[in-house]
Structure 1
Amino acid sequence: MRERTIYFIFTDTGTYLSRMINLYTNQPLNHVSIGFDHELKEVYSFGRVNPKNPFSGGFVREDIRGEFLKHSKSAIYALNVTENEYLKIRHHVKDFESQASNYKYNFIGLLGVALKIEIHRKNAFFCSQFVATVMQGTDSFKLSKPTNFVTPSDIRENTELQLIYQGRLGDYPKHRLAEEVIDLPKDSLINLITKKVKRFI
């Protein structure tokens, strides 16, 4: 059966909200996003719609190279899923995207997690609740909690996830490119260098 890969991006942006969550959970990297390509050009979560306004929360397509995220501490994990699971997850995320204006950030839900009170709010999610929701029904990924109690550390502890990068988020593309060059066969590497040289001749 053909396998596809999805990515979980855990970050610490250093904002006041992030520091407060870190203090409560005693865990690092308390923001999680889901991505669909190894270059992380397509990454989604619930967070700041306007990076300068901490209260403008909702469904967002994130730019890991943007000013708000590129300096973040991060850990990136890969998960292999079946083709059908991949399409189902992607379709679920696209449903969120098509109705993005109807969604808001679930600040009250975070309080519910802290107080261990189950709070259901229509069209409101925090980051890990969103990721857990789109991953529901996936055999390759299981969680033992209701989605409105799931934290980023719960997702990160899943044994099926494979750590592929840890460090400054903005350095991730450079890391991937360096890996690709190192993994090239010798002849291909020579051809690559030759092409680069010819551009300057």
Structure 2
Amino acid sequence: MNRDYEIYVLLTDTGTLFTKTIKLFTRDPLNHASLAFDSNLNEVYSFGRKNPNNPFFAGFVKEDVRADFFEQTTCALYKCTISQHAYQSIRTQISVMEQNRDQYKYNLLGMFGVMFNIEMKREYAYFCSQFVASVFEQGGVNLVNKSPLLVTPGDLVNTPLLELVYHGKLHNYTGCQQRQAAATFRTA
């Protein structure tokens, strides 16, 4: 029996200097993309800061969206329904990246390539929206009709494969999810 799975794309704006700089070029209100395996945002992955205080030390990360770094973050959460095969492929890709996390770097050069519409592929290196588009594509789901090397968070907003679940302050969403889980636990 083939059953459909839900997977999520989280777009955020943390308001950092780096994000503001990216926004100058993309003109997109949300400039960071992450992949989540659950609507509670307990398993969120991306390419970004390994240390919230240092934007230059970046690579593959499992993000804690409840951390202080995300306190003032604006977000949009999108849901994508995919096949079991695609879901398993994406899960496997993330597992391999987690096991080899030290190999992966942030593709800053590739991000500059996007500004000039030049594909800059680097082995074991991604920028956030390239990462999201790549894992979906390798899983057999083309979110955007362009190379993952050129995908921006704004491109992800415009794909018909993603359904908006929430838009607003991230801490309002994650706090709401925690309260719902606590209420469910108390009534069970």
The two structures share one fold, judged by TM-score above 0.5: yes
Q: Is the 8 A contact 1:80 1:140 kept in 2?
A: no
Task: Mark the runs of 5 or more structure 1 residues left unpaired by the alignment.
Answer: 185-190, 196-201
In the alignment of these two chains, the number of paired residues is 186
Cross-structure match for 2:150: 149
Paired residue for 1:161?
162
Shift of 1:117: 1.7
Letter of the structure 2 residue corresponding to residue 78 of structure 1: K
Distance 1:180 1:43 in 2: 18
Equivalent in the alignment of 1:67: 68
What's 1:125 paired with? 126
3-state secondary structure, aligned to 1:56? strand
Q: Deviations over 1:79-102 (max 9, x none)?
A: 111111111111111111111101
Query: Contact 1:140/1:160 (CA < 8 Å) preserved in 2?
Result: no
Alpha-carbon contact 1:69-1:169 (below 8 Å) kept: yes
Are 1:70 and 1:169, in contact at CA under 8 Å, matched by a contact in 2?
yes
How many percent identity over aligned positions? 40
Distance 1:61 1:156 in 2: 22
Q: Contact 1:120/1:148 (CA < 8 Å) preserved in 2? A: yes
Matched, 1:42 2:43: yes
Q: Structure 1 residues 141 and 115 mapped into 2: Cα distance closer, same or farther (>3 Å)?
A: closer
1:40-189 matches, within 5 Å, as: 40-176=41-177
> 1:187 — aligned with what?
none
Q: Tell me how far apart the structure 2 counterparts of residues 149 and 120 of structure 1 sit (CA, whole Å).
A: 10
Which residue of structure 2 lines up, in the alignment, with residue 15 of structure 1?
16
1:178 Cα deviation (Å)?
Answer: 6.4
Q: 1:39-76 CA deviation, whole Å, 9 max, x = no partner?
A: 11000000000100010110000001001123200000
Specify the alignment match of 1:33 in structure 2. Answer: 34
Distance in 2 of aligned mates of 1:74 and 1:136: 23
Larger Rg: 1
Cα deviation, residue 142, structure 1: 3.3
Task: Return the offset for 1:175.
Answer: 2.9
The answer to whether the 8 A contact 2:8-2:35 is kept is yes
Matched position secondary structure for 1:154:
helix
For 2:172 and 2:78, the matched residues in 1 are separated by 15
Is contact 1:141–1:158 with CA below 8 Å preserved after alignment? no
Structure 2: gaps (5+ residues): none
Distance 2:40 2:149 in 1: 29
Structure-2 change in CA distance of 1:139 and 1:69 (3 Å):
same
